[in-house]
Structures are given as C-alpha cells and as structure tokens.
Structure 1
Amino acid sequence: ASLFLSPGSESFIVGDSFSVELGVDTAGLPINAAQTTIYFPPDIVEVLSISKDNSIFSLWPKTPAFSNSAGEISFIGGLPHPGFNGKGNVITINFKAKKEGEALFSFDESKVLADDGKGTNILVFIKGAKYFIYQPEKIGLEATTTLPRIFSPTHPNENEWYSNNTPRFQWSLIKDIKGVSFVFDKNPDTIADTVSEGLLNFKNYDLIPDGIWYFHLRLEDESGWGETFHYRIQVDTNPPYPFEIIIDNAGDSTNPKPNLYFETKDDTSGIDIYKIKIGEEKFIDLMLAQINPFPTSLLRPGNYKIIVRAIDKAKNIVQTKTSLDIDPIETPEINIWPEKYVAGEETFYIEG
C-alpha cells in the first residue's frame, strides 16, 4: 500500500490558499485503518483547516489535528470490515502560503493496516510533496517574439526532479503576438513549426511517462516567427526498488552495536538519501556514503523496530522494516570464594 500527497508539486503566490489531498492506494489489498504524521515548514505555509469530507474512513480514533507552531498534521482513521480496497482520499488539508520559499512535505512513521484480522502494516511506498511559494511579481514572465519566456508552476526548476506527471506550462503574450506554436517531446533541440495553435498562453499535459521532457515554444508577430525557446522538466513517479535490511552482529546476539546493511536503486532520478529510525528515536538522514555498513549506536538489551526509507530525487519513498533483538549477557555465577577474608593481609580471590 502507499500514502501520497496530491498534487506532488505546484507553485503558489504568497497569500494564496490551496488544498492538498492525502490519498491511499491499497494495491489490491483491503485495509481498515491508517495513521501518520505529516511535517510541513510552518514559516512558509500554514494550515487553515482539515476536511474529512469524502474520506474513505468513517471512524477516527484520533481526529485529524494540526499545529502551525510545530508544523505537524496527524490522525488515526479507520472503517469497519470489509474495509476499503482501491485508491481514495483520506483527508484534505487547506493551506495558506505565507512567504516565499520551497515547502517540503514529509512523513513520520506511518501505518496502513490490512483488513486481515491481524492489523498487518502493509505500507511500502510513501510520496511526499514539494511546493514553491513566489512573490506575485515573479510569476508573470513577459515575452518577446524572438525569445518567449516560459514558466511551469508544476515544475519550476528545470534541474530538479518531480513526481508530478501532469505538467503545466504558461507564458505571457504581448499585444502584437498573432500566433503561438509549441511541441512537447524528449528532444532538447526540437524547433516548433510555423502552424499556430491559437493565441494560447498555457498548455497542460496529463499523465506523461517518466523521464526528461522538453516543451518548445515559438511566437509570431507582424515581422514573422521568432526563435524557439526550450524548457526542460524531469519526471519520476515511481519509488525506488524494494529492499531488505541485513543485521550483522558478528555471531553474537548480545552485541550492543551491530552493523546494518541495506541498499536499493532507482532507475529514473536516482537515490537521493536514506532515512533510518531505530526504536523510539527520530528518523535521521544518511548520505549514500554512510551505509554498508551502517553501525548502530550502543543499544541496551531489548527489541528494536528498525525502519529504513530510501528516497529518490523526486521525493518518492520506499520503506522497509525489520526487528532487532539484543540479548542481555548472562548473569555471572561465582563458584569459588573465600569463607573468610581479612583486608590488607591476603589477596581477595573469587572464581566463576
């Protein structure tokens, strides 16, 4: 199953209100509950309200709540047997853009529980979101015939990867423009033809395949057709491959500092970072050079739940989990000791 935020990327003007949906995809397995905590940057955006309308859940052990001071949204939701199977909305979060910046939305430890009578956590994939907040004057990009200016509110940085596969392109038309031609393909050097598509100032595309794409725009005025301007976008909607965690305690179940091994790959944008959570500690970030092995800190005897997330450059996430048991050392047993001991007169000796 997967949890995801929609839209995955978008641009907004300071002062705008906008909505973000948290969705779930059960991947063919009925579910009856889910819980998560979503983090957002409270200095850039603030929550106005949370709506449970149209939610797949009807029971709320923990009603959706938010804190604009901590930048957190959390809930626990559920529904009776036979549960829900498919793709649906969990909650809708209404935000306001406060100031210019990049707003990254991420998840803390999350669960999606199967309707199997056992409460099995079947969550595997998580998809966060990335929103760009601009000052109003930076959205409008004036055009000239020879070099039109393109802006993509869904993919505003040509050098970054996005999980949004429904791109939008927009541009301004000066009063002398009488023709607009555009092409969208994977060739960086395509020249748009001289057949006008009409006096359009935007174009949307739906559900494009992953990869690097180019939007080519050309404008016509009284003097003829100008040069073609090219705009690149990079799309990756798929998470990294599933993987396993291998625990190496050097054959000693009492080893308080075992090594962990894990690694995966991502075909399109590549792995950006790993996150790991051991027991009740918070997630910590790991660069690629910090794994294989990853030595744990010194751990007391006990059972620890380990969660590792692999995050690609488009912020798609795959997570895996395992359990680590550290046994206590055996209690020492003393077999030989002196029945009488005089301090300072003899050596104290015990054996066991």
Structure 2
Amino acid sequence: MKKITFLLKNYRFSLKISTLELAFYIAIIISAFFFSNQFLNRAKYPTSNTAIKLQMENKKQATSNLSLIMARGSFNINEEIPVKIHITATDGSNMAQINLNYLPGNISFTRMDRTNSVCSDLRNIISNSESGTVSFECRLGSQEKKKTSGLVATAQFIAKGSGNNIFTFNDKDTYVISAQNQRTNLSYETPLGNYIYIFSDSGKEPLLPPKTPVSSLTHPNQATWYKDPNITFEWLRSDDIKEFEYCYNQNRLNCEAWKKTTDSSVAIQSQDGNWYFHVQAVSDKGKGPLNTFKINIDQTPPEEIKPIIESKNIKFNREDNESGIKTANIVIDGQKFENIDDSFIIPELKAKNHHVTIEIIDNAGNIQKKTFTLTANK
C-alpha cells in the first residue's frame, strides 16, 4: 500500500492506494493525454486525402477566351473575305473545337488558312452554306511555337451577292479542352456592329442600299400570336446609310405615313390585330427596297362564356375575335377535364351542388372563365 500526498494551493491531503491501482490510474491518464493530442492534431492538420480534396476544391477552373476579328468594309463579288479567330488559353491546353455561324446567302466558306497559327493541326473542317455554319478542331501547341494563345486560323469566305453579314460563335458547340482534359470556362468577344458590306457588281457600288434585314427579339415569330403589345424591332446598318424610314400599319404592301430614325432599333406599342412593320434604308444615292415584318397581337380574352345545361350536357360558346381558340377546359369540384368540345357530357355526380368552372384560352394566351353552381339530382 502506498501513501500519496497531494498539494493543492495551501491544502495538503493524502490518499492511500495500492501499487496496482496506482499503475492503472497512471495508464488511464497517459492514454487520455495521447488520444486528445491526436484529435487536436487531426483537426488542425487534415489527413492527406482530405488535404488533397481541399486543394482540388480550392483550385480555380481554367478559363479561355475566343475572339473574332471580322472583316469590316466593302468587298467585290468573288473577292475573299477573311475572318480571323484568336484564342487566349492556359498553357498546356490540348484542343479547341470552334463552331461559327454566319448569315447564309451572300457569302460562302472557301478554306481555312493556318498561317501563323498556334494550332499544330486543323481537323474535321465542316461547312454548310445552306445553314451558314463552319466547324473545325484545333490541336493547340505547334512544334515551332509552344503557345496556346494567339491566332487559331483565318476562315476565308467569298462574296456571292449584295448585302450585309455578321459572324458569331455557336457557344453550344464551341469549347476548349485543358491539359487536364476538361472543358474550361469560356468567354467570347464578337463585337456587335461588325459587318460585311458587299458590292453588287465587281468594282462598282450599288446604286441603292440593299434590303434592310429586320427582326424582333420581343416578338421573333411572324406566325405566332402575342398578347404583349410592346414590340422592339432591330436591324443592321452599314456606314453609308444615312437614315432609315419606317412605318407600322395593317397594310402588307406599302406605307403612307413614314417616320425617320438614325438608330438601328425602334420600340412600338401596338393594338390588336395583324400588323406590318416596314423599314427601308436611305443613303445619298437613294432609298433601298422595302422590308416587312409581320406582327400578330391579341390582348383581348375570348368572348364571355354563356353555359347552357341540357339534360346531361353542358353546352357553351367558344368564340375569339382575333387569334382564335386554342383550348377549352372544365373543372368540376377540383377535377379538371382538358381539351373539351363546346358540348360536354356531365359525368356521374352525387345529388348535391357542384362547383363548375369553364376556362377558354385563345392562341395568344388570353383566358376567359365562367364559374357557376351545378345542382345534380338523383
């Protein structure tokens, strides 16, 4: 039996304990100290797998940039038009898949020039003059230049007819592969307003401006009905165009009340019906041909619904003065029946009052509703 004396501040006390018990308690104290120290070290310094994972998470994804230097100015028929493609990529990037879009009709792709290119090889060059697309694969890092930034290639096109053109990257199918064989973050530079203006005859300017390409981002489809009356029209312009004349009316063929603008867009608030936006370019040589864009507006819901209950049928009118009826639905006590005719057969109902709503939707998305109570008897 051992006698152990403890001194705590100004107090002294003794404890009688056997040698075996003393060894047992010392072992517990040492073990507790060891494991607590291990826990603190692990919290402070992660295991190797955890550290690697954290490093990978903190590592930024590689970023690449593609830019176009498009031909700008005037070209003769059958003259080549160069479009340069540049890349800025991280060192060690493997390849770039490039997809270009252009307006088909007045130009066509002829060849890909690799002079001064950072690509060791250009592969799978595919062009489609009908859809206005050119795609190819660039293997980055030539033997002469250990770089992955610079000129990718020069796409050569040939002028076929009069008019404007503009080039863009197809961002869905364009990408750059890093040294880790992963797609990088990709940004583009295709300055708006870069265009090609093509002469109608070799060496001679056209007497009049070409037809002005017009479109609408707010109402893009000329066959679709829209209920939003606020419309924006956009078009391209070239340097020799002085101004544009436009009008908005319901005459498909011509205009009488013209307005003028030097801008390349105009906002219009429309009324219901079929309308036509007319625009023509004006230069010092005169006015170009008229271009027309159709707009269909319907802000008015279908006519008021007047249901008639006949035996086991619900009959109702479904009329719309502009876009026409797209669909009709009926809801009975929360149960919806879709795409119904104007004569609806009532299902078996319990003998009580039932909540009924008829809903008619026109082709512009306007909705007309009628709610009533239907009393069912045995």
TM-score scaled by length of structure 2: 0.42
User: Which structure has the larger Rg over C-alpha atoms?
Assistant: 2
TM-score by length of 1: 0.45
Q: Which has the higher helix share?
A: 2
